[in-house]
Amino acid sequence: MSLTEGDIMNIRKVKDLLISKLMFSTMILSCLVVFMIGFVLFQRSMLILTTESLGELLLSSSWHPWRKEFGFYPFIAGTIWVTVVAMVLSVPLSLLTSVYLAEYAPTKVRGITKVTVDLLAGIPSVVYGLWGMILVIPLIKDYVAMAAGVATTGYSVLAGGIVLAIMVCPVVISISEEVIRAVPQKDREASMALGATKWQTVKHVVVRSALPGIIAAVIFGFGRAFGETMAVLMVVGNVAKVPFSVFDPAYPIPSLIANSYGEMMSIPLYDSALMFAAFILLLVVLLFSVMASILLVRIKRRYGVA
């Protein structure tokens, strides 16, 4: 018995419906995983939150777990210092690279560069950490600090920032190039028709139009840098004190969790404190990811990009 055209159309509609339901279920599951992680971390953090005040946890500099003193301020400050240094170093380099790839680079050069950028994104963080220990730390200790008249071991905020900047660049470059290329060609042609040079067009038309997407790329990069663990742990010094310069050692929150958690699971209050630190990281990264996603959605709607 052969199927009629109507039967075939009904089968196609059923298949489309099933596929759409499957994709919707997968999306819901992905979202639930994030909320489940947050719920578990928050639940495990309740012990420290009911024992210590939130202000004391976030603003105290006293970190002596054996005396039940859990001040996270040095770790929060260390995380912010390293992340800000990384973004200051990576953002200009990333934006200039993305503008060149989107507006100036020949097709062959763009293809080679994109492969290289993707390769940088795929290198394990421990390799970056080893590279930092072998090259960046001696460079800072023997040359940069000496030129600045500062004594340092090389394990410092600056070392962590340099290594982290290299790791952040692929994220910012990839997203920035896409949003710059999404600017309609007619905007460039209109600017050139009015007598603007190529650089003036890029500067005043293309970059300005793509600015929300570029900001989103930087925010994504910030979230990537904020939660990085292994590479930073290997080069930043891991000293639980508030840094006051880029040559001081620091102790970011991810490094604290990685260094301490395994051996402290049997101490409930310490375990809860580390869970609270992980919960803070999750909230910050989630916040910046949501902000970046909103900006990207807006720029896609603005230019009608699917």
Interval 284-306: pLDDT, tens: 888 877 877 777 777 667 655 54
* Residue 158, pLDDT score: 93
Q: Give 292's contacts (C-beta < 8 A, 6+ positions apart).
A: 216, 217, 219, 220, 223
* Residue 209, pLDDT score: 86
Domain parsing of the chain, residue ranges: 1-51, 72-303
**Could you give the CA distance from residue 247 to residue 140 in angstroms, rounded to a whole number?**
8
Q: What is the CA radius of gyration of the chain?
A: 24
* Residue 271, pLDDT score: 87
Q: Indicate the average pLDDT of the chain.
A: 86
* Residue 3, pLDDT score: 59
* Residue 265, pLDDT score: 62
* Residue 92, pLDDT score: 93
Q: Which parts of the chain have pLDDT scores under 50?
A: 306
Query: Phi/psi at 240 (nearest 5 deg)?
Result: -80, 65
For domain 72-303, is the CATH number 3.30.70.360?
A: no
User: Could you tell me if 159 and 82 are in contact, meaning their C-beta atoms sit under 8 angstroms apart?
Assistant: no
* Residue 208, pLDDT score: 87
* Residue 97, pLDDT score: 92
pTM to 2 decimal places: 0.83
* Residue 194, pLDDT score: 86
